Amino acid sequence: MSTISLGYCDLHEGEVREGEFERKGCWTCDYFGYSADSPYVDVQEAAQLLKKSPSTIKRWLKKGRLEGKLFVRERRVFCGGSPRKWLVKRELIKLITP
């Protein structure tokens, strides 16, 4: 399992590592928060920083124009929320920011 911390879960009172994030689908949890030193930003934040729409950012990610990672929730649960989540590398956003 990856050792990169993506955020913190108030419910479990602990860090959420990259492997756990994908397996559990933490992005659907109300108790999860991204850490400031996370290597990724979500699509909405990337869109704000780059002054583009979220759909443009997703399109760039799918075409490989922007580097990121697609997380797919492995386990099925009752709660709503997307079973897929794109995250963009923070270091690339800093390089591209107008």
β partners of residue 68: 88
Q: Would you kindly state where each structural domain of the chain is located, as residue ranges?
A: 5-96
Region of residue 51 (phi > 0: left; psi between -120 and 50: alpha; otherwise: beta): left
**pLDDT tens-digit readout, 29-73:** 777 777 777 888 889 989 998 999 999 999 999 998 888 888 877
pTM greater than the 0.75 cutoff: no
pLDDT of res. 1: 45
